[in-house]
Amino acid sequence: MRIRKYEGYAYIAPWIVGFFLFTVAPLLFAFYAGMTEWDTFNKPKFVGLDNYAALLRDEDFLKALWVTVKFAAVSVPAGIFASIVIAVMLNTKLRGISWFRTALYLPAVVSGVSVYLLWKWILDQDFGLINLLLSQVGLPKLGWLTEPSLVMPSYLMMSLWGAGGGMLTYLAGLQDIPAHLYEAAEIDGASGLQKFRHVTLPMLSPVIFYNLIMGIIGGMRKFGDAYIIGGAGNEGRFYMIYLYENAFKFFKMGYATAMAWILFVIILALTLLTFKSSSAWVYYESEVKGSKRKRGRAK
Amino acid sequence: MTGRKRQKLRRDVLLYVLLAIGSLSTVFPLLWMVSTSFKSGDVIFEIPPRLLPDGLHWENYRKALTEIDFLTLFRNSLVITVLQLMSNVFVSAFVAFGFARFHFPGRNVWFLLVLSTIMLPGEVTMIPVFIGFSEIGWINSIKPLVIPGFFGGSPVFIFLLRQFFLSIPRELEESAIIDGAGSFRIFCRICLPLSVPALMTIGILSFQGSWNDLLGPLIYLNDADKFTLPLGLSMFKGVMKVEWGPLMAGSILALVPVLAVFALAQKHFVDGFKLSGIKG
Residue A66 confidence (pLDDT) above 60: yes
| pLDDT bracket for residue B85 (50, 70, 90) | very high
The pLDDT of residue A93 is 86
CATH number for the domain including A254? 1.10.3720.10
Instruction: Let me know if residue A131 belongs to a domain.
Output: no
The overall average pLDDT reported for chain A is 90
The pLDDT of residue A154 is 96
The overall average pLDDT reported for chain B is 89
A6, A11, A126: residue with CB nearest B95: A11
| Separation CA B121–CA B33 (nearest Å) | 33
Q: Is A208 on the interface with B (CB under 8 A)?
A: no
Cβ atoms of residues B27 and A102 within 8 Å: no
Q: Is A127 on the interface with B (CB under 8 A)?
A: yes
Which whole number is the average pLDDT over A239-244?
97
Chain B residue numbers touching A110 (CB-CB < 8 A):
30, 255, 258-259
Q: Is A80 on the interface with B (CB under 8 A)?
A: no
CATH number for the domain including B158? 1.10.3720.10
Residue A296 confidence (pLDDT) above 60: no
Number of domains in chain B: 1
| Separation CA A165–CA A110 (nearest Å) | 10
Instruction: Let me know if residue A260 belongs to a domain.
Output: yes
Q: Is B16 on the interface with A (CB under 8 A)?
A: yes
| Separation CA B3–CA A80 (nearest Å) | 34
| Separation CA B141–CA B227 (nearest Å) | 10
The pLDDT of residue A4 is 76
Instruction: Let me know if residue A134 belongs to a domain.
Output: no
Chain B residue numbers touching A160 (CB-CB < 8 A):
none
Mark which residues 153-212 of B lie under 8 Å from A by CB. Answer: 153, 158, 170, 173-174, 177, 183, 187, 208, 211-212
Instruction: Let me know if residue A207 belongs to a domain.
Output: yes
Chain B residue numbers touching A270 (CB-CB < 8 A):
none
Which whole number is the average pLDDT over A8-24?
95
Residue B236 confidence (pLDDT) above 60: yes
Total CB pairs under 8 A between chain A and B: 269
Segments forming the whole domain that contains residue A279: 46-93+167-294
- Classify A264 in phi/psi space as left (phi over 0), alpha (psi -120 to 50) or beta: alpha
Cβ atoms of residues B85 and B206 within 8 Å: yes
Q: Is A260 on the interface with B (CB under 8 A)?
A: yes
- Of A41-50, B35-44, B92-101, which gets the smallest average pLDDT? B35-44
- Cβ separation B128–A271 shorter than 8 A: no
- Of A110-124, A195-209, A279-293, B211-225, which gets the smallest average pLDDT? A279-293
- Cβ separation A114–B251 shorter than 8 A: yes
User: pLDDT tens-digit profile of A177-214?
Assistant: 999 999 999 999 998 889 999 999 999 999 999 899 98
A119, A121, A172: residue with CB nearest B277: A172
- Of A254-258, B159-163, B267-271, B276-280, which gets the smallest average pLDDT? B276-280
The pLDDT of residue A88 is 93
Residue A290 confidence (pLDDT) above 60: no
User: Would the CA dihedral through A162, A163, A166, A172 be positive or negative?
Assistant: negative
| Separation CA B220–CA B139 (nearest Å) | 5
Number of domains in chain A: 1
Residue B278 confidence (pLDDT) above 60: no
User: pLDDT tens-digit profile of A96-114?
Assistant: 898 999 999 998 888 899 9
Instruction: Let me know if residue B31 belongs to a domain.
Output: no
User: pLDDT tens-digit profile of B106-159?
Assistant: 999 999 999 999 888 888 899 999 999 999 999 999 999 999 999 988 899 999
Segments forming the whole domain that contains residue B88: 71-226+255-278
Q: Is A114 on the interface with B (CB under 8 A)?
A: yes
Residue A239 confidence (pLDDT) above 60: yes
Instruction: Let me know if residue A59 belongs to a domain.
Output: yes
Instruction: Let me know if residue B246 belongs to a domain.
Output: no
Instruction: Let me know if residue A37 belongs to a domain.
Output: no
A127, A168, A268: residue with CB nearest B273: A168
Instruction: Let me know if residue B8 belongs to a domain.
Output: no
Instruction: Let me know if residue B247 belongs to a domain.
Output: no
Instruction: Let me know if residue B30 belongs to a domain.
Output: no
Which whole number is the average pLDDT over A216-235?
92
Instruction: Let me know if residue A127 belongs to a domain.
Output: no
Cβ atoms of residues B245 and B43 within 8 Å: no
Residue B274 confidence (pLDDT) above 70: no
Residue A293 confidence (pLDDT) above 60: no
Instruction: Let me know if residue A25 belongs to a domain.
Output: no
Which whole number is the average pLDDT over B22-31?
93
User: pLDDT tens-digit profile of B155-178?
Assistant: 999 999 999 999 888 888 888 888
ipTM of the complex: 0.90
Task: Return all residues near A205 (Cβ < 8 A) that are at least 6 apart.
Answer: A281, A282, A283
- Of A166-170, A181-185, A276-280, B226-230, which gets the smallest average pLDDT? A166-170
The pLDDT of residue B105 is 93
Which whole number is the average pLDDT over A37-41?
88
The pLDDT of residue A287 is 55
| Separation CA B47–CA A153 (nearest Å) | 25
What global pTM score does this model have? 0.90
Instruction: Let me know if residue B181 belongs to a domain.
Output: yes
Residue A31 confidence (pLDDT) above 90: yes
| Separation CA A73–CA A220 (nearest Å) | 10
| pLDDT bracket for residue A286 (50, 70, 90) | low
Instruction: Let me know if residue B205 belongs to a domain.
Output: yes
| Separation CA B78–CA B98 (nearest Å) | 30
Which of A7, A12, A245 should be substituted to probe chain B, the one whose Cβ sees the most B Cβ atoms within 10 Å? Answer: A12
Q: Is A14 on the interface with B (CB under 8 A)?
A: yes
Helix (H) / strand (E) element for B159: namely helix B155-166
Most confident of A56-60, A126-130, B177-181, B268-272: A56-60
Cβ atoms of residues A222 and B215 within 8 Å: no
